[in-house]
Structure 1
Amino acid sequence: MPNIPQRFILITLIALIALGLPFETLAHGVDESTRAFLLQNTGVQIIPFLYIGAKHMVTGYDHLLFLVGVLFFLYRSRDVLLYVSMFTLGHSITLLFGVMSDIEVNAYLIDAIIGLSVVYKGFDNLGGFQRLLGKSPNAKLAVLIFGLFHGFGLATKLQEFQVPDDGLIANLIAFNVGVELGQFTALAFILLMINIWRKHSSFTRFATNANCLLMSAGFMLIGFQLTGYFIS
C-alpha cells in the first residue's frame, strides 16, 4: 500500500493544522488564561510574553496555512529563509506599529483578508494566475504585503485587551520574538513533512490536492469572518 505514507502526510499537514486545533484559536483567539494575564499584567514581563507569542504562532492555524502555501514549492534553504524573512518583516512592522500607534482595524475584516491570503497562495501554487493572467504576481512582494495584514490581525486583537502602557515596548518586542520562535518551530515541522513527501512519486498529485484544500480552508475562513462581521 505505497500511498499510505503520502496520505498520512497530507492529512497531518493540512487536517491537523486546519481542524485539530481548539476553536478559540479562530480569528487570533485568546484562551482564558492568556486573556486573564493580558488584563492583569503590569510592568515588563519578558518570559510570559515570549511564551504567549510562541503559543499564538503555533496554534494560529491561519498563519500556518499561509506558510504551508509559501513553502510548498521552495526547495532551496536560502529561498525558504528569504520568504520567511519577508513574512516576518511584514508581520513585525504592523504588530509593533499597530499597537504603539493605537491603530484600530476591524478584526473580522483583517482576518477575512488573512483567509484571502491562504486562498491566494493555494491558487498561485496551482498555477492559477499564470493561466488566468499569463504571469504570476511578484511572490516576494505578495508575502510581504500579506505579512503586514497578518501582523495587523494580531495587533488588533491585543488592542482589544488594552495591554498596560507600563513596559509595553519591552513586552511587545518579547511577544514578537516569541512569535518568531513559534514560527521557527512550526516551520521545522512543516518543512520536515513536505521534504519527506517530496521523495515519493505521487508528490505532484498530492500537491494539487493539498493546495486545493488550502484554498478551501481559506474560503472557509473568509466566510466565517465575514459572517461574524455582518452579525456582530
Structure 2
Amino acid sequence: MHSKWFGYALILALVGVIAPFEVFAHGVDDNTRAFLEHNTGVQFFPFVYIGAKHMITGYDHLLFLVGVIFFLYRSRDVFLYVTMFTLGHSTTLLLGVLSDIQVNAYLIDAIIGLSVVYKGFDNLGGFKRCFNWQPNTQWAVLIFGLFHGFGLATKLQEFDLPEAGLLTNLLAFNLGVELGQFAALGFILIAITAWRKWPSFQHFSTVTNTLLMSAGLVLMGYQLTGYAIN
C-alpha cells in the first residue's frame, strides 16, 4: 500500500509540473531582472546564486534529467550521462553569450521540450517498438545538452550585460547551474532509488514516462505558440 502511494505521489508531482504554463517559461523574476539590468563589474556570488536558482526552477531541464536517470541503476552510468549533459549545456551557455550567438528563445525552448518527449519515448521503448532502432543515448544526451545550454544563454542575452567582468560572471553563473543541478539531482536520485525498492516502480514506470512525454509536448506547444504569436 505504501509503495502505491509513493508512486501516486511522484505521478502527481509530474502532473503538477505539467499544469502551470508560466512556470515552464521559468523566466527571470523581478528581483533578478532588476539586478541584471543594473549589474556592473564582477558579481561572482550573486551570479552563482542566480544560476543555481535558475536550474532548480527550470522544470524543463529537471524533467529531462528525470528521464535520463530513470532507468540508470549504476552510479557510474549516472555520472557518465550527467557529465555528457553538463558538457553540452556548459559549452553552449558560455559560447552563446561570449560569442553573441543569437537564437530564437521560443524555438530553443521548444527543442528542450522535445528532449523531454524523446527521453520519455525512449524509456518506454518506443524507438525499438516503432522503428526497430534506437538512437545512441549518450550522444542524444550530449546533443540535447547543447540545446539546453543555448536555452540558458538566451535568458542572459535578454539583458545587456557589461563586458567588464562578463567571463567571470558567466563562469559563476555556470557554477551555480551545476550546483543547482547537483542539488536537484541528489533529491531525484534519492526519490527514484527509494521507489525502485517497491513493486509499484515497474507498474507506474509506464505511466510516469507517459506523463513525462506529455509534459514535453505541453512545453513544445507552449513555446511554439509563443513563437507564432511573437
- TM exceeding 0.5: yes
Q: Would you say the 8 A contact 1:27–1:107 is kept in 2?
A: no
User: Alpha carbon RMSD of aligned pairs, Å?
Assistant: 1.4
Question: Aligned to 1:92, which of 67, 90, 93?
Answer: 90
What does 1:140-155 correspond to in 2, within 5 Å?
140-155=138-153
User: Where does 1:42-61 land on structure 2 (aligned, <5 Å)?
Assistant: 42-61=40-59
Q: Return structure 1 stretches of 4+ with deviation > 6 angstroms.
A: none
Alignment partner, residue 9 of structure 2: 8
- Whole-angstrom CA distance in 2 between matches of 1:132 and 1:29: 36
Q: CA deviation at 1:166?
A: 1.0
* 1:91-170 matched pairs, under 5 angstroms: 91-170=89-168
Tell me, in whole angstroms, the C-alpha distance in 1 between the residues paired with 2:115 and 2:147.
9
Deviates further, 175-184 or 156-165: 156-165
Amino acid at match of 1:152: F
Distance 1:135 1:171 in 2: 43
Q: Distance in 2 between matches of 1:16 and 1:71?
A: 20
Q: What is the TM-score with the length of structure 1 in the denominator?
A: 0.95
SS in 2 for 1:93: helix
In structure 2, the partner of 1:75 is 73
Once the two structures are overlaid, the 10-residue window that deviates more, 143-152 or 160-169, is: 160-169
Q: CA–CA distance in 2 between the matches of 1:46 and 1:38?
A: 13
Q: Per-residue displacement from partner, 1:96-147 (whole Å, max 9, x unpaired)?
A: 0000000000000000000000000000000000112212100000000000
Conserved? CA contact 2:18–2:218, under 8 Å:
no
Deviation at 1:16, TM superposition (A): 4.6
Secondary structure at 1:102 match in 2: coil
Q: Secondary structure at the match of 2:198?
A: coil
**Equivalent residue letter for 2:6:** P
In structure 2, distance between residues paired with 1:228 and 1:17? 19
Query: Do 1:28 and 1:154's aligned partners in 2 also have CA atoms closer than 8 Å?
Result: no
Alignment length (residue pairs): 229
CA shift at 1:17, angstroms?
4.2
Shift of 1:6: 2.3
Q: CA 1:189–1:182 in 2, change beyond 3 Å: closer, same or farther? A: same
- Percent of matched pairs sharing the same residue: 68
Superposed displacement of residue 162, structure 1: 1.4
Residue 19 of structure 1: how far off its partner (Å): 4.3
Deviations 1:181-223 (A, max 9, x none): 0000000111111111101112112110000000000000000
- Rounded to whole Å, the distance in 2 between the matches of 1:148 and 1:157 is 15
Measured in 2, the distance between the counterparts of 1:83 and 1:186 equals 15
